[in-house]
Amino acid sequence: QPVPVVAIDGTSASGKGTVASRVAAALGWHYLDSGALYRLTALAARRAAVGWDDEAAVAGIAANLDVDFAGGVTRLSGEDVGDAIRSEEISGGASRVAALPAVRAALLFRQRAFRRPPGLVADGRDMGAVVFPDSMTKVFLTASVEIRAERRHKQLIEKGIAASIAALLLDLRERDERDSQRCVAPMQQSADAELLDTTNLTIATAVAQVLDWVNKVS
């Protein structure tokens, strides 16, 4: 019996990370934040002064990333980079390196290694379509771009980081466009995925809906 996977894909800043990690906690399963791997790759490339379009060099960096997610802390070569990978600059870089086929190939096996008993909840753009096509439950989670910009704005302000809603809107639109137009593993709702629009939903309601779908098939 293969280890069950719940795939939660969707747009940037849609809340899928929060929903996915809470679903994982409720089920007592492992959690994979696949976007963090692309963000770590962008950060490591930046630190090595490698351009985000240098496919061979960035793929080499992705293949050799020294990462550790123990205890919910994201470490790159031992250093806590949880905040560094969430900056707007690295968010943009992540979506650039994610468009490179060799980088996606380098991260594929690393992502599949997270699949361990009793189960895995994975969040990203291509969890259901490419990385775990045999997922028991697939969810495509999104929200209007305006509400996503507002939520990101609130998060940044709470962290004491200055931000403008107008600039965040532009950034999110650009990233949506790049993530959905790229040739490899573009973000898209697959036919077998449930659509969850969280524009008017609380986190608790969204989590309950996903758990409901999971319980229906298990």
Specify binding-site residues for ATP. Answer: 10-18
Per CB under 6 A, does 38 bind ligand C5P?
yes
- Please report which helix (H) or strand (E) contains residue 214, including its range: helix 203-217
Does 115 bind ligand C5P (CB under 6 A)? Our answer is no
- Contact residues for 200 (Cβ-Cβ < 8 A; gap 6+): none
Q: Output the smallest distance, CB 29 to ligand C5P, in A.
A: 18
Question: Token pair of 9, please?
Answer: 């894909």
Residue 126 binds ligand C5P, judged by CB under 6 A: yes
* Cβ distance to ligand C5P smaller for residue 95 or 135: 95
Min dist CB 202 to ligand C5P, Å, is 21
12 binds ligand C5P (CB under 6 A): yes
Among 4, 119, 124, 128, contact with ligand C5P (rule: CB under 6 A): 124
Q: How far is the CB of 114 from ligand C5P (least distance, A)?
A: 12
* Runs of H (alpha helix) within 3-136: 16-27, 34-47, 55-63, 88-97, 101-112
Q: Which of 40, 98, 143, 207 binds ligand C5P (CB under 6 A)?
A: 98
Indicate the length of the chain as a whole number: 218
Q: Are 73 and 82 in contact (CB under 8 A)?
A: yes
> Among 124-132, 136-144, 191-199, 205-213, which window interacts with ligand C5P (CB under 6 A)?
124-132
Helices 88-97 + 165-181 axis angle, to 10? 10
Contact between residue 45 and residue 64 where contact means Cβ atoms under 8 Å apart: no
Which residues of this chain interact with ligand C5P, rule CB under 6 A?
A: 12, 34-35, 38-39, 94-95, 98, 124-126, 175, 179
